[in-house]
Structure 1
């Protein structure tokens, strides 16, 4: 009994030491998951926006509530008698069914207001409102891919710049009656709408196509905050209902084990404790196993084999043949990694496309393509030319991060 107590104390001490060591040495990576969750403080959560919303709308003494009416019956019951309020959806995509969309439309027509910021609007809603949604692809607008900040503006003059929105959503053909442009972004001196107001009888929809603008990462920048705050200030009702997809799941039973698993430190301690108890049971059982001989796995000689074959091929083969294979493998890498059409290798625009997709200077791209075209048509080369071609191709692959 005495030895068992000592063993238990030893395991307990080792558990605490292991927890401390794990907490001190672990690398806490930033989670860039696009959760759009109002409880999350990660970059793409909505904690700051949800917390700040009463302040943004404070001059109107607005009351903000959360709701989680996803399906048709729940939504119908929830919206009953709330025509003087505003619904706010900030989600990655809206996937409500036809009946739920009809209920939202009926709510707006009775006088309600709905603000939606999402990457994908339901087709039923778009068709009913007479809207068309698409995504901005630079090549469709004869624009070179631009990695610099892109300006997004509201009609009230608020402007913000966003660098990571490569393919933002847009509306087109919005000349229908009752639809007006509220915000847009600029591309090649064009004003492309991505935020519209749609009036339906007594109410209206405010439809915005980039929810990332309301996440913590952007809201903590002053200019971006001003843009998002100006968009949210368009809400004109004194009572706001914030859509929270996880509200019901978070209101479920809170068992002690659930609390342990939610906290990083407690979760690690729980697993280590279980592991310690397992070790204790193994030692306590005093069972012995027959020694199992160690069988060494066969050595992997793939590299040596490839080196031997390459040496034999080089000594007895034709350097020109090796150059041809080196070039073909290089073109294969361009097709796989950058989706380039190597059949258009000799066209002037190919080098520009290669530079745009690899990030390698245009002069280097022109040089390597010229080299490939030259030696692709030559079947007889010297060893010196083989070495030179191999060196230039490998240098380009390093610049383009081709593994």
Structure 2
């Protein structure tokens, strides 16, 4: 290595070390990602709200629900409860909306705070409240005379959503949002908080979830706004806190994410990458030699499949083939219908019949026959054909409908 190369190498190393030092001493940027997760202390997490719920609802039991509302409400009958949903975007399926309506109709309440609340069954739709003046600020105000002259603002950018359509006969307007110009005159206004009566219960629908974030609650007196919104809920009802419909993850699931979340581990990871780079630069020169011609391997997948199938057929391994088909059926139900298969019972039959649209009695007949095959030591070719026909009928029903 000549002198000139050594100088360039030294400058390169010095540059890398300088970059590492600058990155290590500079302030960590604020993460404004809207997680709405109770475990997160980020600006747009809901850690503070979750910690304060016991004081706001001192007579209520607070339970975190980590599974979809459809499964939770299907498992047992709930009474005297308020189901709370807070997230940037919430998209319920038709089956979940039906279960929530039954839940409210029986005397429970549902509180939803999200920018997108479009429930066709209730004839409720939202729209964006636009303004042409970027200097305008948004305010939030309640209709209740108790909160007269109390207006709240939010200094971060957000989607100001309002209710564009709803059933006026069964709906009570609780809050509004508006834009103010530089002279504090209202230019655009819309409804952002309503109460919808359904059966013996109520839907409380709110389109400004940022009010419940850590940043907003700890900013000035905006915590009063969050408390005032929740004051409309019945304090005698237990709280079901939704922990399933959240934009952010409640726990780290990626090893790389775990490494990069720690400052020390992150720079150890970067140094390892730089070390590998140096190794490649200085020791990666391949010794020149004649490269032999290697004929690529032929694709023997089809031949292998035929060989295995012939082996099973010739040895009459009907029982083994049937077991494989049953395992593939259970995997199909887990991935396509999203139903756990750890326990095959009446609840499982109901879920499969409801999700697939397949006749309940035929579902029971299919899995009873699978159990019968499990119990046998050997099965005939006719039994294998019968099992295959029943499984294919079940799958075709899901793909093409009844």
The CA deviation string for residues 284-327 of structure 1, in whole angstroms up to 9 with x for no partner, is x797879xxxxxxxxxxxxxxxxxxxxxxxxxxxxxxxxxxxxx
Q: What is the alpha-carbon distance in structure 2 between the residues aligned to residue 271 and residue 97 of structure 1?
A: 43
Which residue in 2 is equivalent to 1:128?
121
- Residues 82 and 145 of structure 1: is their aligned pair in 2 closer, same or farther, counting only changes over 3 Å? same
Contact 1:86/1:240 (8 A) holds in 2: yes
Q: What is the alpha-carbon distance in structure 2 between the residues aligned to residue 266 and residue 18 of structure 1?
A: 19
Which residue in 1 is equivalent to 2:233?
235
Contact 2:64/2:242 (8 A) holds in 1: yes
Q: What is the alpha-carbon distance in structure 2 between the residues aligned to residue 102 and residue 286 of structure 1?
A: 63
1:55 aligned onto 2:47: no
The structure in which a higher percent of residues are helix is: 1
Q: What is the alpha-carbon distance in structure 2 between the residues aligned to residue 246 and residue 19 of structure 1?
A: 40
Which residue in 1 is equivalent to 2:137?
149
Which residue in 2 is equivalent to 1:77?
74
Contact 2:44/2:214 (8 A) holds in 1: yes
- Residues 250 and 191 of structure 1: is their aligned pair in 2 closer, same or farther, counting only changes over 3 Å? closer
Moved over 6 A (4+): 17-20, 246-249, 251-255, 280-283, 285-290
The Cα shift of 1:234 comes to 2.1
Contact 1:75/1:100 (8 A) holds in 2: no
The Cα shift of 1:151 comes to 2.2
Q: What is the alpha-carbon distance in structure 1 between the residues aligned to residue 157 and residue 29 of structure 2?
A: 22
The Cα shift of 1:33 comes to 2.0
Which residue in 2 is equivalent to 1:245?
244
Which residue in 1 is equivalent to 2:112?
116
Contact 1:19/1:268 (8 A) holds in 2: no
The Cα shift of 1:169 comes to 1.3
- Residues 110 and 235 of structure 1: is their aligned pair in 2 closer, same or farther, counting only changes over 3 Å? same
Q: What is the alpha-carbon distance in structure 1 between the residues aligned to residue 133 and residue 287 of structure 2?
A: 65
The CA deviation string for residues 343-394 of structure 1, in whole angstroms up to 9 with x for no partner, is xxxxxxxxxxxxxxxxxxxxxxxxxxxxxxxxxxxxxxxxxxxxxxxxxxxx
Q: What is the alpha-carbon distance in structure 2 between the residues aligned to residue 39 and residue 67 of structure 1?
A: 14
The Cα shift of 1:227 comes to 0.7
The Cα shift of 1:63 comes to 2.5
Which residue in 1 is equivalent to 2:267?
268
Contact 2:117/2:124 (8 A) holds in 1: no
The Cα shift of 1:180 comes to 0.2
> Secondary structure at 1:196's aligned position in 2?
strand
Q: Provide the TM-score with structure 1 as the length reference.
A: 0.55
Q: What is the alpha-carbon distance in structure 1 between the residues aligned to residue 140 and residue 243 of structure 2?
A: 26
How many residues get paired?
261
Bigger Cα displacement from structure 2, 201-210 vs 177-186: 177-186
Contact 1:83/1:108 (8 A) holds in 2: no
Q: What is the alpha-carbon distance in structure 1 between the residues aligned to residue 108 and residue 35 of structure 2?
A: 27
The CA deviation string for residues 64-88 of structure 1, in whole angstroms up to 9 with x for no partner, is 222122363x23335x232222111
Contact 1:115/1:206 (8 A) holds in 2: yes
Which residue in 2 is equivalent to 1:170?
162
Contact 2:61/2:238 (8 A) holds in 1: yes
Which residue in 1 is equivalent to 2:218?
220
The CA deviation string for residues 180-237 of structure 1, in whole angstroms up to 9 with x for no partner, is 0111124537763110001111111110011112212211123311011111222214
Which residue in 2 is equivalent to 1:24?
24
- Residues 238 and 20 of structure 1: is their aligned pair in 2 closer, same or farther, counting only changes over 3 Å? farther
> Secondary structure at 1:34's aligned position in 2?
coil
- Consecutive unaligned residues of structure 2, counting only runs of 5 or more, are 1-16, 180-185, 289-402
Q: Provide the TM-score with structure 2 as the length reference.
A: 0.55
Which residue in 2 is equivalent to 1:92?
88
Contact 2:115/2:159 (8 A) holds in 1: no
Contact 2:126/2:165 (8 A) holds in 1: no
> Secondary structure at 1:222's aligned position in 2?
coil
Q: What is the alpha-carbon distance in structure 1 between the residues aligned to residue 26 and residue 47 of structure 2?
A: 25
Q: What is the alpha-carbon distance in structure 1 between the residues aligned to residue 278 and residue 178 of structure 2?
A: 64
Contact 1:132/1:173 (8 A) holds in 2: yes
